[in-house]
């Protein structure tokens, strides 16, 4: 075993060692210990992805996996005022806060939960209702597994657990906030389970922010279950520090007549990856997956979307836009899969990229795997620059070039931003863009 491991990828060895240390220091139910061990073994078997893997073709993970990481401690190493910068502005939200992967009860807000609604940290649930956690975790079916996902399963120390009972239509959003202190070499593995019952409705915001620049690593896994005729809206904001790594995947299971919509805004991290998989649990589902990614410097943003249609009458729509500056690399890898014999699939995909500098690169890979006859499907991808005619039009009205370019860049992203569910988040993103899209190498540290 050791020999194979070393040959294939010695990088996994240090993560396995982390797992052993983690397990030795914690007391957990047998099923969880077993799950972690199995995941660690899987990691050794499969290794981390390389650019030979289709789904990772353009992203080199060496800087992440050839590095010694520490697991988060138990103390919260950030002043409360720093965290409050991010908690004051979703006034009406239920909130779970994690700092460097550690649950921060003080800044979480779980009062006035309606009957039957569970919003809790995994660590709390493990203490108070371990059976429920086991039930939900046991339901999990793995899709497109890779080294990072099994790493999360092996090392996840905490995360959000949300259960919306059947028929409850939540008025208030649920805000999951992951704050990184920026302390170097810390790896956290948030694991979030969101289970929305039949006929229920929920809006969940997942937000990852870095306070200081520091080379840390967030390896997140989020699963959403959308019950029959349930409706779930999801925003994900990734604004990690610019020296950090962020690898995340979102798995969405949609039952019959369920509707799911997600908008992912990715603006931070040195290497950032956001992967979404749609899994149909029943017919007549609706899934909208939007994304906006912004990179500059030498940063990389990798976006993977898989709309898998395995049941009849599934609708899916993907709208992803990239703004790429300096020597940034933006990747969009979007699949539409329609299984043989499925009927009435309606699947659409659009990816547009705006290059703001000569050195910036957009890789766009639409992939269609259509084995069904009865399908309406479209896809389109563009890579372009700001339209000089539009710039001149604005100049001719007295607007200076910097402002004109900023307005046009914002205009390019506007239709994705409009789909962000939270008005306050939209406002923040717009302010962020307005400041940041000077695109003259000027970095603004905003209040987001």
Partner 1 sequence: MMLKIENLHASVHGKEILKGLDLEVKAGEVHAVMGPNGSGKSTLSYLLSGREGYEATRGRVLYDGKDLLELGPEERACAGIFLAFQYPVAIPGVNNMYFLKAAVNAQRKHRGLPELDAMEFMGLIEEKLKLVDLKKDLLSRSVNDGFSGGEKKRNEIFQMAMLEPRLAVLDETDSGLDIDALKAVADGVNALRGPERAMIVITHYQRLLDYIVPDKVHVLLGGRIVKSGDKSLALELEKKGYGWIEQEVGAV
- Applying CB under 8 A, the residues found at the interface with partner 1 are 387-390, 392-401, 403, 407-408, 410-415
- Identify which of residues 113 and 414 has a Cβ nearer to partner 1 in the complex: 414
Tokens of 210: 């870095």
Going from the C-alpha of 232 to that of each of 199, 248, 280, 421, the distances in angstroms are: 10, 19, 14, 11
CB of 382 to partner 1, least distance (A): 13
360 backbone dihedrals φ, ψ, rounded to 5°: -75, 150
CB of 411 to partner 1, least distance (A): 3
Do residues 120 and 161 make contact, with C-beta atoms less than 8 angstroms apart? Answer: yes
Tokens of 3: 């020999």
C-alpha–C-alpha distance, residues 188 and 273, integer Å: 15
- Identify which of residues 81 and 396 has a Cβ nearer to partner 1 in the complex: 396
CB of 419 to partner 1, least distance (A): 13
Task: Classify each residue of 164-191 as buried b or exposed e, where b means 16 or more C-beta atoms within 10 Å of its C-beta.
Answer: bbeebebebbbbbbbbbbbbeebbbbbb
3-state helix, strand, coil in the chain (%, to 5): 25, 35, 35
- Identify which of residues 79 and 395 has a Cβ nearer to partner 1 in the complex: 395
- Identify which of residues 85 and 402 has a Cβ nearer to partner 1 in the complex: 402
- Identify which of residues 326 and 415 has a Cβ nearer to partner 1 in the complex: 415
- Identify which of residues 68 and 401 has a Cβ nearer to partner 1 in the complex: 401
Dihedral, CA of residue 177, residue 181, residue 183 and residue 188, to nearest 10 = -10
C-alpha–C-alpha distance, residues 95 and 110, integer Å: 6
Q: In 3D, which of 304, 266, 222, 223 has the Cα closest to residue 417?
A: 266
CB of 414 to partner 1, least distance (A): 3
Q: Any idea what DSSP says for residue 113?
A: P
- Identify which of residues 52 and 397 has a Cβ nearer to partner 1 in the complex: 397
Going from the C-alpha of 266 to that of each of 75, 167, 205, 300, the distances in angstroms are: 28, 32, 13, 10
- Identify which of residues 128 and 387 has a Cβ nearer to partner 1 in the complex: 387
122 backbone dihedrals φ, ψ, rounded to 5°: -55, -40
CB of 440 to partner 1, least distance (A): 17
CB of 384 to partner 1, least distance (A): 13
């Amino acid at each position: 075993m050791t020999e194979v491991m070393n040959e294939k990828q010695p990088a996994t060895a240090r993560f396995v060692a982390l797992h052993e240390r983690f397990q030795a220091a914690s007391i957990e139910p047998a099923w969880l210990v077993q799950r972690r061990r199995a995941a660690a073994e899987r990691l050794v078997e499969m290794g981390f992805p390389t650019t030979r893997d289709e789904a990772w073709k353009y992203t080199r993970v060496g800087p992440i996996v050839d590095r010694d990481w520490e697991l988060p401690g138990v103390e919260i190493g950030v002043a409360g005022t720093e965290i409050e910068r991010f908690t004051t502005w979703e006034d009406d939200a239920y909130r779970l806060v994690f700092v460097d992967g550690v649950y921060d009860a003080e800044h979480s807000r779980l009062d006035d939960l309606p009957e039957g609604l569970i919003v809790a940290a995994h660590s709390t649930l493990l203490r108070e209702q371990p059976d429920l956690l086991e039930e939900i975790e046991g339901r999990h079916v793995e899709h497109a597994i890779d080294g990072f996902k099994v790493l999360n399963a092996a090392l996840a120390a905490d995360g959000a657990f949300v259960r919306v009972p059947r028929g409850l239509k939540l008025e208030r959003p649920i805000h999951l906030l992951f704050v990184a202190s920026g302390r170097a070499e810390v790896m956290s593995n948030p694991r979030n389970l969101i289970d929305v019952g039949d006929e229920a409705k929920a809006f969940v915001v997942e937000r990852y922010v870095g306070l200081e620049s520091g080379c840390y690593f967030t390896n997140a896994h989020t699963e959403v279950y959308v019950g029959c005729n349930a409706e779930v809206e999801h925003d994900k904001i990734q604004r990690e520090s610019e020296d950090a790594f962020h690898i995340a995947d979102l798995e969405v299971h949609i039952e019959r007549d369920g509707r799911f919509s997600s908008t992912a805004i990715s603006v931070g991290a040195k290497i950032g990856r956001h992967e979404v998989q749609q899994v149909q649990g029943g017919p007549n589902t609706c899934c909208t997956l939007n994304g906006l990614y912004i990179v500059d410097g030498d940063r990389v943003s990798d976006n993977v979307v898989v709309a898998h249609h395995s049941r009849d009458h599934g609708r899916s729509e993907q709208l992803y836009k990239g703004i790429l500056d300096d020597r940034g690399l933006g990747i969009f890898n979007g699949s539409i899969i329609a299984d043989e014999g499925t009927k009435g699939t309606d699947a659409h995909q659009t990816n547009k990229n705006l290059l703001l500098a000569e050195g910036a690169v957009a890789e766009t890979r639409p992939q269609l795997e259509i084995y069904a006859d009865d399908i309406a499907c479209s896809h389109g991808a563009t890579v372009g620059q700001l339209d000089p005619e539009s710039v001149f039009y604005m100049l001719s009205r007295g607007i200076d070039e910097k402002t004109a370019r900023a307005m046009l860049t914002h205009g390019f992203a506007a239709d994705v931003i409009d789909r962000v569910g939270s008005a306050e988040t939209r406002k923040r993103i717009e302010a962020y863009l307005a400041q940041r899209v000077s695109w003259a190498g000027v970095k603004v540290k905003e209040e987001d």
